[in-house]
Structure 1
Amino acid sequence: MKPQRILTPLYITFTFLLFLSCQKKASNTIVPLNTKAEVAKLISVADRFYKNKKTDSAFFYYNKAKFICNPVTDTQNYVDIINDMATIQQNHGDFIGSESTVIEALPYLKSLKKPEHAWNTYVTLSNNYLNTYDYKNAILYNQKALTLKTASWQNLAAKKNIAVILMEEGKYAESLKIFLALLSKPEIKNDDEFYAKVLDNIGFCYFKINDLKNALSYFNQSIEIRQNKKRPFDLGKSYLHFAEFYKKSNPALAKKYMHLSYQQFSIINDVDERLASLKLIIENSSDKELKKHSLIYVSLVDSIFEVRQKAKNQFAKIKYDSKKDRDENLKLKTHKAENELQLERQKNRNIISYIIIAFSLGLILVLYFYLTSRGNKEKIEATYNSETRIAKKLHDELANDIYHTMAFAENKNLSIPENREQLLTNLDAIYSRTRDISKENTTIITDENYVLVLTEMITGFTTPNTNLVINELDVIIWNTIEKNTKVTIYRVLQELLVNMKKHSNATLVEINFKTLDKNVIINYTDNGSGININEIAFRNGLHNVENRILSIKGVIDIDSALGKGFKVFIKFPL
C-alpha cells in the first residue's frame, strides 16, 4: 500500500472539517443592526439637557447613544457624540477624562465628509493638552486643525489658539507676531468679541516684553469694546491684565482692577479665573484683608476640588455602567442567537463525530494491516537475505574445501602418517570456518557480559601470523549504551575483522576505544595490503558497515591505500 493512498483520506477529511468550521464561524457572526434612528433620538434628548445646562443628564444620553452608534456606518454622529462628551468633561475640569474620551474619535476622522467635525476633535484635544501643560501636543493638534479645509474663522481660531499656547509658554515675541497678523484680517475686525480678545492679548504680550506704551494702548482699545458689550468674562480678563500692568507702578489702581476682575468672574461663577484674581489680591494684601481673602481662596479651592472630583467620578461611572449594560445586552443577544442555533449545531456535531469515528476506525485498520504486512515482508526479506548470505558463505568458504578434502582422502594413502596429518589439518580448518560462520549469526549477548563477549569475538581472529591489540575497551561504560547500538558495534567490528582475515594478510591489528565529549570513538588499524578506496567493488563490500553506523546516528571514515594498511574511524553518541 502506497503512502499516498493513506494520506488522501486525511486530506479529504481535513478539508471537510475546515469547511464545516468556516460554516460555524459564519453562523456565529452577528449582523449589526441599523441604529441611526435611535441614535438621533438619544442625541436630541442629550442636546436638550445640554442646552438647559444639565450636563450630567446630557453626558448620560450622549454616552448611551455612543454605545449603540456604529462608528463605521454612522461616523459623523459618532464623532459628534464623542466631541460633546469630551467638551462636557473639559468644562468640568476633567481634562484627563476628556482626553481619554476624545481620542476614541481619532481613528474615524478620515472617514468624515465634513472636516469641521474633525476640527472640533483636534481643538478639544488641544485644549486638554493646554490645561495639562503639554504645550507641544497642544500646538500639534491646532496645526492638524489648520490642515483641514474648514471655514476661515475656524482657521483663524486655530492660529489664535497657537498664539495663546505660545503666550502660556512665555514665548511672547512669537505669540505677538501671530496676533498682529490676525489683527489685519477682516473676519476678526467684524467680530467684536474676537477682535477684543486679540487686542487684549497683543497688549499683554507687549507688557511682557516691556513695551508699556503699546501695551496700554491695546489694553485700552480692548476694554473699550468690552465695556460696550458688557460680557463679564471678557471684562474680567481685561481688568486682570490692567491689574498686572499697574501692580508695580500704581498698586492702588492695580488693586482696584483686581477686585473688579474678581467681581466679573464671580458673576458667571468662573472658579478658575476667580482663583487667578484672588491670587493677585492675596499677593498685594496684608493683615485682615490678607486673611479674609486667603480663607476665601482656600474655601474656593476645596469646593472646586470636591465638585470636580464628583463630576469626574460621575462621568466615569456613567461610562462604566453604560459599558457594563452594553456588555450584558450583547451577552444576552449572543446567548439567544446561540440557543436558536444550538439544535442545528448539535446535528452537525453528531454528523462530524460519526464521520471522525468511522474514519479513525478505518484508518486504524488500514494502518494495522499495512504495518503488519510491511513487518512480515521485512521479516521474510531479512530471513531470505540471512539464508542467502549463509548459503553463499557455505558454498564459497566450505564447499570447495570439503570437496578438496574428500578428493585428498580418496586419492592418498591414509596409512602414511604425513597424509593422515594433512587430512586432520584440512578437517580442522573446515571446522574453524564452520564455527566462524556460526558465530556471525548467533544471538549477541548485550548484558553486563557484553565486554567479555566482544573481547572473545575480537581475540578469536588471532592466529599465529596475526596479532590483535585491544586498548581501553573496558573504559567505556557499556551499560549506559542501548542494546541495538552494542549489537551494531559488535557486527561492524566482526565484519572488519572478517574482511581483514580474508583479504588483507595483516600481521598486526589494533583497535582503540575512548570517550570524548559524550561520544564513543573507535579507531581500527591494520598493517595489511590495503585497498584503493575509489574502487566501486570495495565500496559495495563495506556498504553494510557504513549503513549500520549511520543507523545509530554515528559517523564513519575509511582511509586506505594499496600497500599502506587499512584504517577506520568510528564515532557514535553515548
Structure 2
Amino acid sequence: MISKNAPFFCFLALFLTLSACKKKDHAFNDSKPGKEKILSLTIKAKSFLDNHKTDSAFYYFNEVKSICDPKTNPEAYIATTNAMAALQQNQNDFIGSKTTLKEVLPYLKLIRDSEQIWYTYTYLGINYLNTYQFKKASRYFNKALDLNINKFKNIESKKNIAEVLIAENKYQEAIQILLSLTDEKEVQSKPKFHAEILDRIGHCYSHYSSDNSEAYRFLNYALQIRMRLKDNEDIAKSYYNLALFYQNKNSDSAKKYMTMSYEKYTLANDIDGRMSALKLIINNSPNPELKKHALKYIILVDSIFEVRQKAKNQFARIKYDSKLQREENLKLKTHKAENELNLERQKNKNIISYIIIVLSLCLILILYYYLTSKANRDKIEAAYNSETRISKKLHDELANDIYHTMAFAENKNLSLAENKEQLLHNLEVIYSRTSDISKENSSIITDENYISSLKEMISGFSTIQINLILNGLDLISWTKIDKNKKITIYRVLQELLVNMRKYSDASVVGVNFKQIEKSILIHYSDNGKGIDMEKIIFKNGLYNVENRILKIRGTIDITSAPNEGFKVLIKIPI
C-alpha cells in the first residue's frame, strides 16, 4: 500500500493552503480581517504539525475550514480539507479521510488550481486502495493522471496505478508501467523515488517471473541506492522484499534479511514496518522462537491500535464539535433576530406585558437549550459507548481468527481438498461470530410480534450439540410490559446465551418464564462447566446483564460452581 505518502502530501497541501490564502488573483468575498484570520489559523496549524501535535493541527485546520466559504473561496477550503484528510490518512483512518474528502467534491469545479484537484483525487485513491476498493482507487488515480498537471505528478499517478495492479496481483501489467518510468529523467534525478520504483519492479518479478535473476537485480539495485542515501526506513523495505524473495529459496538468507528489516524499521521508528517484518519472522520461526516473536507482535498491535483509535476518535470529535458549534451559532443569530423583531412590535404595549413576554421567551430558550444539549450529550455518549463496545468485540473476537485464517491461506496449498475444507471451516467460524455481533446490535421488535422474535432469537442458539428447552413464554402478559423492559429481557437472555455458547460447553439449556402477581421470574440454567463464584469477576457479558437488570429496578441472583452448571434467577417488576 502507499499510505506512507501521507506525511509528504500533508506538507504539500499545507503549503498550498498558505498559497491559496495569499494569492491576490483569487480574491475573497469576505472582509480583510477574514483573510487575515484564515492565514493566522493556517500558520498555527503548520506550527503544531511541525511539532508532531497532529490533534492540535487538525483542530486549527478545521477552524480554517469552518470560516472558509467553499463557494467564494474554494481554493483555501479545498486545500485545508486536503490537509485534514492527509492527517487522518497518516493515522490509518482511511474511512474518516475518505468521508472528509467527499465534502469537497461538489466544489472542485469552482477552482482554477487543478493541482488541488490532483491532491483530492490522489488522497481518495490512496484511501480506496487501503480499504481494498481497487476499482475506485484505480478510477481516482486515472482521474488524477488525466489532469496532466506536470511531468512528475503524471509519473506519481502512473506509479499509484501500478500499486493498484500489484494489489490485484496483476504483476505483468504493473511491471510494464513501472519499467516505462525508470527511463524518465524526473525519476532518475530523485534517487529516493527511483529506488522505490526499482524495488517495486523487483517485487513484481519475484511474484510473476520464474527468472529469479531479474527480480534480484532490481531489488539489489534499489538497495544499493538506499544504502547510499542512508534512509533506515527505505533500507528496511528493501531488506523486507529481499526476505520475501529468498523465503522459498534460501531460508538462511531469508531469516537474515527478515532480522535486518526488523532492526532497520526499529531504528526508523516505523511501527507498521516492524509489524510486517515481525509477521514474516513469525511465519518462518521454529517453535522455540515463535512465542518470543509473537509476544512482540501482540504488544506492537495493541499499542498502535490504541494510539490510532484515540487519534480517530479525537479527529471525529473535533469535526463533530465544530459542526455543533456552527449550528448553535446559527440558531443564536436566528433567535436574536426574532427577539429584536418582537421587541420592536412590543414597544407600544404596557410594561407588565412586556416583562411577562420577555421572561417567557427567556424561560423557553433556557429550557430548549437545556433539553437539546442534554439530548445531544446522551446521543453522543450512547453512540460512543456502542461504537467502543462493537470495536472491542471485533478486535477481541475476530482479529485473531482472521489473522490465523490469512496466515493459513498464505502458507497452505489450497488446491488440496483438506486445506480447502479447513479454510472453509475457518471462514464459517468467522462468519458465525460476525453474525452474532450483528444480532447483538440489531434493533428489537417490541410490538405484537415480540414473542415470535424472542422465540426465534432463543431458538437460534439450539444446535446438534445444545438441547435448548423453553417454557412459559406464552403465559406472560407481554402487552402489559413496558417497551424498555422487553428490550432488556431480550438483551439479557441474548447475553446469557452468547456466553453459554462461547464458554460453558453446555449440552442442555433451560429458560423458564413465570408471572407472579406484578413480577416476571426468568430462570436460566445450563449443565456447562460453571464458574467459581468466589473468583467471579463481573465484566463483559455478565457485567452487561447485571447493569441492564438494575437499570429497570430488577434483581438478579447467580448460582454456579465448577463442573456444576450455571443458574441465573431474574426478577423484573411489571
Give the TM-score band, short-chain normalised.
Answer: 0.5 to 0.7
Matches within 5 A, 1:322-337: 322-337=322-337
The share of aligned pairs that are identical, in percent, is 50
Instruction: Give unpaired runs (5+ residues) of structure 2.
Output: 1-28, 348-574
Q: Residue in 1 aligned with 2:111?
A: 112
What SS does structure 2 have at the residue aligned with 1:285? coil
Give the residue type in structure 2 aligned to 1:156.
I
Q: Give a deviation string over 1:392-440, Cα, whole Å, max 9, x none.
A: xxxxxxxxxxxxxxxxxxxxxxxxxxxxxxxxxxxxxxxxxxxxxxxxx
Partner of 1:129: 128
Aligned partners of 2:242 and 2:148: how far apart in 1? 38
1:484 is aligned to none
Letter in 1 for 2:129: L
Change (3 A) 1:32 1:221: closer
Specify the code of the residue in structure 2 equivalent to 1:205. Answer: C
Structure 1 unpaired stretches of 5+: 1-30, 348-574
Query: Would you say 1:50 and 2:54 are equivalent positions?
Result: no
How far off its partner does 1:345 sit? 6.8
1:32 CA drift (Å): 7.6
Question: What is the SS of the residue equivalent to 2:92?
Answer: coil
Task: Write the deviation string for residues 490-541 of structure 1: whole angstroms up to 9, x where unpaired.
Answer: xxxxxxxxxxxxxxxxxxxxxxxxxxxxxxxxxxxxxxxxxxxxxxxxxxxx
Task: Give yes or no for contact 1:85–1:101 (8 Å, CA) kept in 2.
Answer: yes
Q: Tell me, in whole angstroms, the C-alpha distance in 1 between the residues paired with 2:224 and 2:162.
A: 23
Deviation at 1:48, TM superposition (A): 1.1
Q: Cα deviation per residue 1:469-501 (whole Å; 9 max; x = unaligned)?
A: xxxxxxxxxxxxxxxxxxxxxxxxxxxxxxxxx
Distance verdict in 2 for CA 1:208–1:346, change over 3 Å: farther
* 2:213 alignment partner in structure 1: 213
1:297 counterpart SS class: helix
The equivalent of 2:291 in structure 1 is: 291
Q: State the distance in 2 between where 1:319 and 1:155 align.
A: 33
**What is the CA–CA distance in structure 1 between the aligned matches of 2:323 and 2:267, rounded to whole Å?**
38
Tell me if structure 2 keeps the 8 A contact 1:122–1:142. Answer: yes
Contact kept? 1:36, 1:74, Cα under 8 Å: no
Identify if the C-alpha distance between structure 1 residues 32 and 220 changes in structure 2 by more than 3 Å, giving closer, same or farther: closer
Going from structure 1 to structure 2, the CA distance change for 1:115 and 1:255 (only over 3 Å counts) comes to same
Aligned residue number for residue 234 of structure 1: 234
How many residues are matched? 318
CA–CA distance in 1 between the matches of 2:336 and 2:129?
48
1:320 is matched with 320
> Cα offset for 1:90?
0.7
Q: Which residue of 2 aligns with 1:85?
A: 84
* AA partner of residue 60 (structure 2): Y
1:152 aligned onto 2:151: yes
Deviations for 1:276-330, whole angstroms, at most 9, x for unmatched residues?
1111100111233211000111111111111111111111111111111121122
Partner residue of 1:265?
265
Measured in 2, the distance between the counterparts of 1:149 and 1:36 equals 31
Matches within 5 A, 1:160-175: 160-175=159-174
Question: CA-to-partner distance for each residue in 1:344-390, whole Å, 9 max, x for gaps?
Answer: 5779xxxxxxxxxxxxxxxxxxxxxxxxxxxxxxxxxxxxxxxxxxx
Q: Does the 8 A contact of 1:42 with 1:62 survive in 2?
A: yes
Check whether the contact 1:236–1:264 (CA below 8 A) recurs between aligned residues. Answer: yes
Superposed displacement of residue 49, structure 1: 0.7
Match of 1:256 in 2: 256
Partner of 1:406: none
CA RMSD of aligned residues (A): 1.9
Partner of 2:52, secondary structure, is coil
Q: What is the match of residue 306 of structure 1?
A: 306
What pairs up with 1:21-36 in 2 under 5 angstroms?
35-36=34-35
Q: Which residue of 2 aligns with 1:185?
A: 184
Q: Is this contact kept in 2: 1:240–1:261, CA < 8 A?
A: yes
Amino acid at match of 2:275: L
| Matched position secondary structure for 2:82 | helix
Q: Contact 1:242–1:254 at 8 Å: present in 2 too? A: yes
Cα deviation, residue 73, structure 1: 1.1
The answer as to whether partners of 1:115 and 1:149 remain within 8 angstroms in 2 is no
Contact 1:36 1:69 in 2 (8 A): no
- Give 1:92's aligned amino acid: Q
Give secondary structure in 1 for the equivalent of 2:104: helix
Q: Distance in 2 between matches of 1:149 and 1:283?
A: 44
Match of 1:113, SS state, is coil
SS in structure 1 opposite 2:132? coil
Following superposition, the deviation at residue 92 of structure 1 comes to: 0.6
Amino acid corresponding to residue 124 of structure 2 in structure 1: L
Using the alignment, how far apart are the partners of 1:194 and 1:346 within structure 2? 73
Superposed CA offset, 1:154-174 (max 9, x none):
111000000011111100001
Q: TM-score, normalised by structure 2?
A: 0.54
Q: How many Å separate the matches in 1 of 2:346 and 2:106?
A: 40
Cα distance in structure 1, aligned partners of 2:326 and 2:40 = 18
Post-superposition offset of 1:153? 0.7
Could you tell me which residue of structure 2 aligns to residue 403 of structure 1?
A: none
If the length of structure 1 is used for normalisation, what is the TM-score?
Answer: 0.54
| 1:213 to partner: Cα distance | 1.0
In 2, distance between residues paired with 1:243 and 1:324? 51
Give distance in 1, aligned partners of 2:274 and 2:66.
38
Distance across 1 between alignment mates of 2:329 and 2:263:
51
SS of alignment partner, residue 149 of structure 1 = coil
Aligned equivalents of 2:149, 2:326: Cα separation in 1: 36
Deviation at 1:340, TM superposition (A): 3.2
Give the Cα separation in 1 of the matches to 2:335 and 2:239.
64
* 2:225 alignment counterpart: 225
